[in-house]
Structure 1
Amino acid sequence: MLQIPFEPYIFGYRVNIHLILEYLAFFIGFRYYLYLRKNQKDTISTSNRLSIIIGATVGAFLGSRIVGILENPSLQLSPQNILVLLNTKTIMGGLFGGLLGVELCKKIIGEKSSSGDLFTLPIIAGIFTGRIGCLLSGINEFTYGKSTDFFLAMDLGDQIPRHPLALYELIFLLFLFFVLKKHISARDLPDGTVFRIFMISYFSFRFGIEFLKPNVFFVAGLSTIQWLCLVCILYYYKTVFQLLHYAGKKVHLL
């Protein structure tokens, strides 16, 4: 039976499986993006697409660190904690920071075309890979849930049955991947819509699942991640209303 946290030894050295899968997530995501771009027509020029990737990378780096620090603002600023602060990051801040970085970059270079759809499936693949590392890391990563007697509860390393939030997310991401892949293949949505649906869906999911997380810092009863989720959903309010209107029509037809 697999022991969590999973900390294998290779040639006598303990391997940080989460770190390995984190780097692998970037590799898989980028290679998948290159594959998709090679096999479908991209309306954005190579130079502009490169600028957009740079904007996304810088925005994601800054966003992941800023939101990561805000998740635990009580951490004392001291020489001992500098490395901890610099290494504190979250995918949620990375996604939203990357979004802002792309939008700013597009304004600078004058690019009008939607650029997100091509990134959507590679992003999901990357997050999925990284979340496997989070699950295998157990309580060594703050992606575990509260104690529970739910039938999916797992011992993540402290002999306490907990919500395996990383597992819940893996299931959700798998479902979301195939739903969005179907729409991309059918080309039945306007450019940019698939990426917006991904952002709204993922941030809505994370808003809800945060209630199962043993957070200690709240503002008006919500965690930092939950406030960021609300900001993202508000950012896409037009798409949210369009999706609700579309869902309402479907229900009415039933």
Structure 2
Amino acid sequence: MYLVGFLCAWILVKREIKRQLVTPERVNLELAHLESLMAYLIIGVILGGRIGYCLFYNLDYFLEHPLEIFATWHGGMSFHGGAIGAIAAGLIFCKRYKESFFKWADRFVWPAPIGLGLGRIANFINGELFGRPSDVPWAMIFPGGGPIPRHPSQLYEALLEGPILFLLLSLLKGKDRYPGGLFSLFLIIYGFLRFFAEFFREPDPQLGFILFGWMTMGQILSLCMICVGIILFLITQKPRTQRI
């Protein structure tokens, strides 16, 4: 699913570059940058996702078993960690090649929901990250969730983070006045969708509820994501002379 998501992003961003740019020289330069940036992002997403999971969801365990950090076949990836890793990789790339971070960020967040939706379908296939107990007619029994019927929350998240997020971003694409607008809106909208979906998802057993007896780690991280997105939107959508 990771590979398919990256491939779809590469195809759509490549098409956007060819559509937006006029001169063949500039198109060729941007396409060369795209090839390099993809390598940065793949590394950033994988490293960030794994490190984020270790830090946010199971720090005590990995402090006691540090070699397990490298045992990715045992599972454990964090979207929020992967997002931080991708942002860090993008910043490093743009600094090295003197490119605009927000220009490339806007390009890549638009196809990002394809990979996110596919990732949730993979969670469903694996029977992992299942939902809370439920008596709705479509509740399911998951191998790792005991004999209790549960929400298929992976499918809820696949719908929210995939087609719905993609549709919203497609409608907003090109509406921002300055670079960074779509990237900021992605952070805000994804944060809200993930916060809502977490109400149906079983909290991680090693953490449970973190705040107020109902808020999960995913919701806390999503709130942080929303706040960062709002701040970035307010900053990026001001004329350059008025920015802080």
Same fold at TM > 0.5 = yes
Whole-Å Cα distance in 2 between the matches of residues 117 and 240 of structure 1?
Answer: 12
Q: How high is the TM-score relative to the length of structure 1?
A: 0.70
Q: How many angstroms apart in 1 are the aligned matches of 2:40 and 2:75? A: 21
The answer to whether the 8 Å contact 1:145/1:165 transfers is yes
Instruction: Select the residue among 178, 192, 197 that pairs with 1:209.
Output: 197
Residue 206 of structure 1 deviates from its aligned partner by 1.9
C-alpha contact 2:54 2:69 (8 A) present in aligned 1: no
Partner of 1:65: 50
Q: Pick which of 36-45 and 148-157 moved more.
A: 36-45
Find the counterpart in structure 1 of residue 188 from structure 2: 200
Secondary structure of the corresponding residue to residue 59 of structure 2: coil
Shift of 1:98: 0.5
Greater share of helix: 2
Q: Residues of 1 paired with 2:105 and 2:67: CA distance?
A: 39
**Could you tell me the percent identity over the aligned residues?**
25
* Rounded Cα–Cα distance in structure 2 between residues aligned with 1:215 and 1:33: 35
Q: Which residue of 2 aligns with 1:168?
A: 156
Give the Cα–Cα distance (whole angstroms) in 1 for the partners of residues 79 and 138 of structure 2: 24
Letter in 1 for 2:113: I
- Kindly indicate whether structure 1 or structure 2 has the higher relative contact order, using CA contacts under 8 Å at least 6 residues apart: 1
1:130 aligns with 2:116: no
- State whether structure 2 residue 38 is matched by structure 1 residue 38: no
Query: Deviation string for 1:40-62 (max 9, x for gaps)?
Result: 43988424444543443332222
Q: How does 1:76-91 map to 2 (within 5 A)?
A: 76-77=64-65, 83-84=71-72, 88-91=76-79
Q: Distance in 2 between matches of 1:59 and 1:231?
A: 20
What does residue 252 of structure 1 align with? none
- Structure 2 unaligned spans of 5+: 236-244
Residue 178 of structure 1 and its aligned partner are, at CA, apart by 1.5
Give the direction of change, closer, same or farther, for the CA distance of 1:58–1:24 in structure 2 (3 Å limit): closer
What is the deviation of 1:180? 1.7
Give the paired residue count.
217
Distance 1:124 1:81, change over 3 A: closer
Matched residue, 1:183: 172
Contact 1:59–1:94 (8 Å) recurs in 2: yes
Q: How far apart, CA to CA, are the structure 1 residues paired with 2:9 and 2:34? A: 16
- How far did 1:66 drift? 0.9
Structure 1 residue 147: deviation in Å?
0.8
The alignment partner of 1:27 has SS state of helix
Aligned counterpart, 1:102: 90
2:7 maps to 27
Describe the SS at the equivalent of 2:203.
coil
